[in-house]
Amino acid sequence: MFAAVALLCFAAAGTLHAADARGWAVSTLLRHIAAAPNCAHANAVGLAPARRNAPGYYDRHDRDNDGLACEEYR
C-alpha cells in the first residue's frame, strides 16, 4: 500500500514518467525515486555513480554533463 501511494505521489510530481517507460522492476524504480534528491541519497540506495539512462541517473546530478552522475562516489 505504501509503495503504491509513493508511486502515485511521485508520478504526480512528474518524476516517474521516464523511469516508468523503461520497464524497470518495482524495487529498482523505488530506488531510482529515492535517489532523486541528491547524490548522497543515490549512494545510500546503491545507485551512485549512475550512467545516463540507468537507475539513479538525474541530469541535475551530472555536473559536467558527461553522462555520469554522482561521480564523487566512484
Residue pLDDT, tens place only, 30-65:
999 999 999 999 999 999 999 999 999 999 999 999
H or E stretch at 4: helix 2-13
Spatial distance between the Cα atoms of 13 and 47, rounded to a whole number of angstroms: 21
Mean pLDDT confidence for 1-13: 54
Helix (H, G, I), strand (E, B) or coil at 69: strand
Q: Residue 29: what residue type?
A: L
What residues does each domain of the chain span? Answer: 2-73
pTM of model > 0.85:
no
